[in-house]
A = this chain, B = another copy of it.
Amino acid sequence: MAIRLTENRYGKSHVRLMKVERDGARHRVTDLTVDILLYGDFAAAYTEGDNSQVVPTDTMKNTVYVLARRQPIGAPEEFGLRLADHFLTRHAHVSRARIVISANPWQRLGEHAFERAAGRRTALIDRTRDHTSVEAGIADLIVLKTARSAFAGYLRDEYTTLKETRDRLFGTAVKADWTYHGTAHNFDQLWQAVRQTLLDVFAAHDSQGVQHTLHAMGEAVLQQFDAIEEIRLSMPNQHYLLADLSPFGLDNPNEVFVPTSEPFGLIEATLRR
């Protein structure tokens, strides 16, 4: 039976870019890591070693820096849209461009000094000649609640040893990605507002489990932001085990915990309007 090349794609990953924009003494910094993947008519490079249709990944890297220079960089989503547009416009044999951007947050210390904050903002542009998808996201948003978190009433079988609890620590590193309707929004403002909504619901929710809170967080985002048509949430359950102090004649009224990094629960869902 013949062997077929059924899918292929290639690009440049981890192109790092820092852009400084100045309004007099007041500076603004944009710190992005860009991944580019192109799809198209590249089969001959694989099957024949014929590179004549291959845009070198080094050229993709150069393109990032050129486009960053040509105009104000804007939101990560906007920069990604310009990058995707460039490759599709410039090269007729490119059928699809997928741009993933991770932005480091910097907090202002002064006019031209900054401190790196926690977490990351992400953007994904997936563009073909017919369709453009714009996604935004947040990663490494590490949160903890020390009340209003239960886990009980679950299914028990012969391998169940877990104890029910009405009061546990609930810690997670939220990863959220959402898809916008269309391609023109105030992306910076929306991102900040979605982040705040996720935090607010996490903090206030009477959680019956990670699934329950994850759903409430996603639902609130869809309820509040018409611009968003779908949200995907991934929330590891980073367990805090209650330390057993009974061998030492001590009780432990939910005070002393052992954080563990593995294993961890992993809860994921997609919500759509």
Residues of A with Cβ closer than 8 Å to B? 1-21, 25, 27, 29, 31, 35, 37, 42, 45-59, 61-63, 65-66, 68-70, 90-91, 106, 109-118, 141-148, 151-155, 157-162, 169, 199, 202-204, 207-212, 214-215, 219, 222-223, 230, 236-237, 240, 243, 245, 247-248, 250, 252, 254-273
Contacts and interface: CB of A to CB of B under 8 A. Distances in A.
A153 B52 CA distance: 6
B262 A261 contact: yes
B158 A265 contact: no
Tell me how many chains of this kind the complex includes: 4
A55 to B, nearest CB: 5
A219 B2 CA distance: 10
Contact of A54 (B35, B154, B264): B154
Given A19-B256, A112-B146, 17 more contacts: A4-B272, A7-B270, A12-B264, A13-B262, A15-B262, A18-B259, A19-B257, A47-B215, A51-B208, A52-B153, A57-B263, A62-B248, A66-B245, A106-B144, A114-B144, A116-B142, A261-B261
Nearest to A147: B112
A18 to B, nearest CB: 4
Given A46-B212, A118-B118, A65 B258 contact: yes
A266 B147 CA distance: 36
B110 A204 contact: yes
23 contacts: A6-B270, A8-B268, A8-B270, A11-B265, A11-B266, A13-B236, A13-B263, A15-B262, A16-B263, A20-B169, A27-B147, A37-B266, A45-B212, A46-B212, A51-B211, A57-B266, A59-B161, A59-B162, A65-B258, A66-B250, A70-B250, A109-B143, A113-B203
